[in-house]
Amino acid sequence: MRLKTVERHVNEALRSIWRNGWLSVASVVTVAVSLFILGFTTLVVLNVDYLAGNLESGVEMTVFLQNNVTADQTQALNKELQALPGVVSVQFVSKDQALADIKQSMGDRGDLLSGLAEDNPLPDAFRVKTADPATIPALAAQAQHLDGVDQVRYGAGVVEKLLAVTHWLRIGGLLMMVLVGVSAVFLIATTIRVSVHARRYEIGIMKFLGATNWFVRSPFLLEGVGLGFAGSLLAGAAVYLGYVFVVNAAQQALPFLQLMDDPLTLATVVGGILVLGMLIGVLGSLFSLRRYLKV
């Protein structure tokens, strides 16, 4: 394509955007609002997955040992637990360490347990973490039958419900993101179709004079890219500033709620919004022009 032709298409696209001022503004606003909703929905889904991952990472099982277990049996049991499929870490907690941890958790009232130092009723135990928390119930059943094990606890019933909740939260978040994405594409394509329909006679004249489909298409594609980029730029800025504000406000109001604050992830979402805005502008233009370019 010659430079003059490219220059002509760019000028046509700019004139069209200026000539259809209010419609162009409506297109940009539609793109911005749709992509803002989509971008923020994506961040909500990512945060749900992040929080669910944090909850799951805290799930572990505790293997309590019998009182008569020797040091050699304890060492052998440590190796057996590490050999279980999916186990990533095994930490031995002596009865003295367990009592000290309880005292520390009680704060100023920890002195109430000072009388248990000589006659500690707590058993030695292992804290076991797995790569996949969903495997803990099955591993607990295996650990229960090992020699020297008194009982295994992992929050039976609660863990299964927690895993089910996080599973459905992830599925619900993904479905919400897909629905918002489809709605955004539909709204943007409809807006661009209105712009193309308003210029249908111009397109008909160009076709009558022998213009090729790509010659007719190019200014509209550039117009779609421009409108899509302008809208996505507004949406990206709003998503970035809005999310930073939400994270800072949440840290002050709810310090126990740790939202995802990875700059790389946020930059990836914003960059994806910019690319998606231009892509939707192109696809919307192609789809809207199709009926007017038929011979």
pLDDT in tens, 143-163: 888 888 888 887 656 666 766
Within this chain, do residues 110 and 126 fall inside the same structural domain, yes or no?
A: yes
Closest CA to 201 of 189, 190, 216: 216
Within this chain, do residues 86 and 130 fall inside the same structural domain, yes or no?
A: yes
Please identify, among 120, 153, 186, the residue that sits at the C-terminal boundary of a domain: 153
Q: Say what the alpha-carbon torsion angle 9, 15, 17, 20 is, to the nearest 10 degrees.
A: -130
DSSP 124: P
Within this chain, do residues 206 and 145 fall inside the same structural domain, yes or no?
A: no
Within this chain, do residues 195 and 168 fall inside the same structural domain, yes or no?
A: yes
Question: Does residue 69 surpass a pLDDT of 60?
Answer: yes
pLDDT of residue 10: 63
Within this chain, do residues 47 and 80 fall inside the same structural domain, yes or no?
A: no
pLDDT of residue 107: 63
More confident residue, 188 or 104: 104
Within this chain, do residues 46 and 106 fall inside the same structural domain, yes or no?
A: no
Within this chain, do residues 239 and 93 fall inside the same structural domain, yes or no?
A: no
Question: Does residue 110 surpass a pLDDT of 60?
Answer: no
pLDDT of residue 221: 74
Please identify, among 153, 172, 187, the residue that sits at the C-terminal boundary of a domain: 153
Biggest distance spanned by C-alpha atoms of the chain: 102
Within this chain, do residues 136 and 203 fall inside the same structural domain, yes or no?
A: no
Residue ranges of alpha helices (H) inside the chain are 3-19, 21-57, 71-83, 95-106, 136-144, 158-198, 200-208, 213-253, 263-289
pTM of the model: 0.61
pLDDT of residue 237: 92
Provide the domain limits for residue 218. 3-55+162-292
DSSP 67: T
Within this chain, do residues 142 and 194 fall inside the same structural domain, yes or no?
A: no
Query: β-pairing, 149-153 with 125-130?
Result: unpaired
Question: Does residue 234 surpass a pLDDT of 80?
Answer: yes
The domain total for the chain is: 2
Within this chain, do residues 198 and 277 fall inside the same structural domain, yes or no?
A: yes
Within this chain, do residues 140 and 189 fall inside the same structural domain, yes or no?
A: no
Amino acid letter, residue 133 = P
pLDDT band, residue 220 (cuts 50/70/90)? confident
Closest CA to 181 of 173, 192, 171: 173
Please identify, among 153, 185, 200, the residue that sits at the C-terminal boundary of a domain: 153
Within this chain, do residues 118 and 191 fall inside the same structural domain, yes or no?
A: no
- The enclosing domain of 68 has a CATH number of 3.30.70.3040
Question: Does residue 184 surpass a pLDDT of 60?
Answer: yes
